[in-house]
Amino acid sequence: MGRKKTYDRDDLIDRSVELFRDHGYAGTSTQMLVDELGVNRYSIYAEFGTKHGLFDAALRRYDESVIERSFGPLEAPGAGLAQIRALLEFYALASDSPAWGRGCLLCNTAVEFAAADPSGAGLVQRYFERLSRAFRSALTSARDCQEIGSSVDVSAEAESLTATVLGLFVMLRAQAPSAAIKGAVSVAVGHVDGLRALDPG
């Protein structure tokens, strides 16, 4: 007869997200997980196989929750420049939030592991593609409703905005001066506003 679980799998994943986000994969030891999650090694191995298995689950949970919450609105029908601007301005204020000094788990993972995606499932690459696709979706919608000019290269602008957001994540993680972050956002917002069609008609 197997042991009865004394923990909730989803709760373990949610709390491990916070640990990995704060300390990275290498900086989060198995003993730290045992201490902070309140479960023994056997439970972690039985549920996730390895520390790496728990990390994969944390990456997926972060993608499904935080990334969806932040970038999902850009993919919604009717999204446009207002949604892009709102996202950028949200990150300009992130230095005043609990997320300060933490950045984005998936961006942190890309920096920690470079091209060696630790998930084995392409989660980091899919993350980059998700961000770019979200911006491209909002820009395409804006172009279709003549909010921006038809000559705007939507794909190139989406890649540029993706790079901007990734840079902001790194700045937030490193606790760059708030003025520098707000300045970078201000320039990005100004560029987005500059895409507006001079003659929508």
Q: What is the pLDDT of residue 54?
A: 95
Would you list the domain boundaries of the chain? 9-193
Whether pTM exceeds 0.75: yes
Question: pLDDT tens digits, the chain, 201 residues: what are they?
Answer: 455 677 789 999 999 999 999 999 999 999 999 999 999 999 999 999 999 999 999 999 999 999 999 999 999 999 999 999 999 999 888 777 777 899 999 999 999 987 676 666 678 888 999 999 999 999 999 999 999 998 999 999 999 999 999 999 999 999 999 999 999 999 999 999 999 865 555
Q: What is the pLDDT of residue 94?
A: 78
Q: What is the pLDDT of residue 121?
A: 63
Q: Which CATH class is domain 9-193?
A: mainly alpha
Q: What is the pLDDT of residue 22?
A: 94
Q: What is the pLDDT of residue 13?
A: 96
Q: What is the pLDDT of residue 1?
A: 42
Convert the chain into a string of H (helix), E (strand) and C (coil): CCCCCCCCHHHHHHHHHHHHHHHCCCCCCHHHHHHHHCCCHHHHHHHHCCHHHHHHHHHHHHHHHHHHHHHHHHHCCCCCHHHHHHHHHHHHCHHHCCCCCCCCHHHHHHHHHCCCCCCCCCHHHHHHHHHHHHHHHHHHHHHHCCCECCCCCHHHHHHHHHHHHHHHHHHHHCCCCHHHHHHHHHHHHHHHHCCECCCCC
